[in-house]
């Protein structure tokens, strides 16, 4: 009996000698989780998580159950007492990696309580966006910084005309290919700070996640206001100001986001009437980027005498 117990204890210690297997056991100590959830919390590759779980299952430390196509894992019933002791010691150590896992697990739990991870066939964010877009009647639309037109594709059927511009030749070619089936859509290479269109050309101007990539956001907004028709609408999405400032530079951003008040000021300086400028969403994962949504309109009175662009005012000074 002693030999069997000793052998099992030694096997348990050997398996838990790997840091990542210990992390998985710590997470499964509270409740069962599936592989995708463990991947999200730990940041490990799915193949590595699956390999570690297989090793833990062979050692009798975890058990799994099938639910459709998914497998859920939990600590095995009657696992070796050694396991309990090791986990208790790990908790008391307050290791930064283990604490980070617990924090990310808490975020996952919060999403579960909010119902955001409840699966229902066909009910995706993409299908919801397509459904809402069907309610729109956008007129002549300019998409400034359209990228590869992944967003423009959803609204294309609901525009009288759609013009997509971007300063990147490669993504404009991708947008042209993606929108090839729409005769009323045009794509072209252009600079957001010097739009090649006459004043009052569009009913709606979209600036989705473009401002932080422009050198002079004020110029871009002023140009968007210029090409709007009286009564036209400008819609802006951009990252809220964030810290540290360089966290998003890896994605090519020139500015560390713009706060709602900064976006409001840009729109007001361009002579537009701001309907809303506020944080519309917050990402659940660190660094918890927030997105600002702003909507502004061009009145008939202000359209007659557009204000001087802010940068020209500064030049005169």
For residue 23, the model assigns a pLDDT of 85
Say which DSSP state 241 is in: P
Contacts of 280 (CB under 8 A, 6+ apart): 237, 291, 292, 293
The reported pLDDT for the residue numbered 291 is 92
Residue 293, judged by CB atoms within 10 A of its CB (0-12, 13-18, 19+), counts as middle
Identify the band that residue 21 occupies on the pLDDT scale cut at 50, 70 and 90. confident
Task: Tell the residue number behind the tokens 């050692």, with chain if given.
Answer: 59
SS3 2: helix
Does the structure show a pLDDT above 90 at 98? no
Residue 259 is predicted with a pLDDT of 94
Distances (CA, A) of 313 to 108, 180, 219, 297, 303: 49, 42, 12, 22, 19
**Torsion angle, alpha carbons of 162, 166, 172, 176, to 10:** 0
pTM of the complete model beyond 0.85 = no
Stretch among 37-46, 56-65, 306-315 having the lowest mean pLDDT: 306-315
Return the pLDDT at 148. Answer: 92
How many beta carbons lie within 10 A of that of residue 282, not counting itself?
Answer: 10
Percent of the chain with pLDDT over 70: 79
Q: For the segment 272-293, what is each residue's pLDDT rounded down to a tens digit?
A: 999 999 999 888 777 788 899 9
Q: Note if the bond before 8 is cis, omega within 30 degrees.
A: no
Contacts of 114 (CB under 8 A, 6+ apart): none
Query: Across-strand partners of 72?
Result: 34, 65
Which residue is it, tokens 């590595």? Answer: 48
Query: In this model, does residue 117 exceed pLDDT 60?
Result: no
Range picked from 35-39, 65-69, 198-202, 288-292 for highest mean pLDDT: 198-202
pLDDT of residue 177: 93
Q: What's the rounded mean pLDDT across residues 152-163?
A: 94
User: Considering only 24-33, 34-43, 186-195, 258-267, which range has the smallest mean pLDDT?
Assistant: 24-33
Mean pLDDT, all residues of the chain: 82
Could you report the per-residue pLDDT of 217-251, keeping only the tens digit for each?
Answer: 999 999 999 999 999 999 999 999 987 766 666 66
Q: Which pLDDT band, with edges at 50, 70 and 90, does 57 fall under? A: confident
Write down all domains in the chain, each with its CATH number in brackets: 2-114 (1.10.10.10), 127-316 (3.40.50.150)
What three-state secondary structure class fits 97? helix
Helices (runs of H) and strands (runs of E) counted in the chain: 13, 10
Asked if 253 contacts 282 with a C-beta cutoff of 8 angstroms, the reply is no
Phi then psi for 297, rounded to 5 degrees?
Answer: -125, 155
């Amino acid at each position: 009996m002693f030999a069997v117990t000793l052998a099992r204890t030694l096997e348990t210690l050997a398996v838990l000698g790997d840091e990542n297997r210990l992390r998985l056991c710590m997470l499964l100590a509270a409740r069962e989780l599936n592989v995708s959830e463990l991947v999200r919390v730990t940041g490990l590759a799915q193949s590595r998580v699956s390999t570690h779980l297989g090793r833990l299952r062979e050692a009798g430390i975890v058990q799994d159950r099938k639910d459709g196509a998914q497998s859920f894992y939990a600590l095995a019933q009657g696992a070796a007492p050694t396991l309990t002791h090791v986990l208790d010691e790990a908790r008391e150590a307050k290791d930064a990696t283990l604490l980070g896992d617990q924090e990310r697990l808490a975020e996952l739990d919060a999403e579960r309580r909010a119902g955001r991870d409840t699966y229902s066939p066909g009910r995706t964010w993409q299908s919801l966006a397509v459904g809402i877009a069907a309610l729109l009647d956008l007129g002549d639309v300019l998409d400034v910084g359209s990228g590869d037109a992944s967003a423009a594709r959803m609204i294309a059927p609901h525009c009288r005309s759609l013009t997509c511009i971007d300063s990147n030749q490669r993504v404009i070619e991708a947008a042209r290919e993606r929108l090839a089936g729409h005769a009323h859509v045009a794509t072209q290479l252009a600079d957001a700070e010097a739009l090649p269109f006459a004043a009052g050309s569009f009913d709606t101007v979209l600036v989705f996640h473009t401002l932080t990539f422009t050198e002079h956001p004020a110029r871009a907004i002023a140009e968007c206001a210029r090409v709007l028709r009286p009564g036209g609408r400008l819609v802006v999405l951009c990252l809220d100001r964030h810290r540290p400032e360089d966290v998003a530079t890896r994605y090519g951003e020139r500015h560390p986001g713009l706060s709602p008040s900064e976006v409001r000021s840009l729109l007001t300086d361009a002579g537009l009437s701001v309907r809303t400028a506020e944080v519309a969403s917050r990402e659940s994962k660190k660094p918890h980027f927030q997105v600002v949504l702003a909507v502004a309109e061009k009145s008939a009175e202000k359209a007659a005498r557009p204000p001087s662009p802010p940068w020209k005012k500064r030049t005169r000074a």
